Amino acid sequence: MSTVTCLADAEVGDEVWSTTHRLLRADLVAYANASGDQNPIHQDEEFARSVGLPDVIAHGMLTMGLVASAVETVAAGREVASFTTRFAAPVVVPAGDDGVEVALVLTVAATDESAGTVTLDTAVSVAGTKVLNRARAVVNI
């Protein structure tokens, strides 16, 4: 994992955060219970397959929450002015102790001294496949 000591000093192209999260089926159950999203595509293999999915998938908002947490860490108490993304592919979570590894990389896409902002692009992938598109956050510095 790499971080910048001061986001205000970051330059376009700087990688400011890199990490992975392992998601297990137990995480999906915990998220479903906390969020109230009990859609069976997140917990029932048979149901997920019956609607055309390869297996149980993670909640989209759980995936987005992983990114939001990374952005908040990098922002280090500064205001996150905006955060947008589009879901590109489901995060399939197989049964077993291995689960699935979600990789996140935050890179500085733009800086605007006059506006006092840094724009971060976030690459989110599973086994090299993008699961979020156009994941972008603007942080007030």
Domains assigned to the chain: 7-140 (3.10.129.10)
The tokens for 135 are 């994941």
Is the sign of the CA dihedral 35, 39, 124, 120 positive or negative? negative
Per-residue pLDDT of 94-137, as tens digits, reads: 999 999 999 999 999 999 999 999 999 999 999 999 999 999 99
Exposed/middle/buried for 126, CB within 10 Å: 0-12, 13-18, 19+? buried
Q: What is the pTM of this model?
A: 0.90
What is the structure's pLDDT at 1? Answer: 42
What is the structure's pLDDT at 8? Answer: 84
Per-residue pLDDT of 48-104, as tens digits, reads: 999 999 999 999 999 999 999 999 999 999 999 999 999 999 999 999 999 999 999
Residue 19 pairs with which residues in a beta bridge? 104
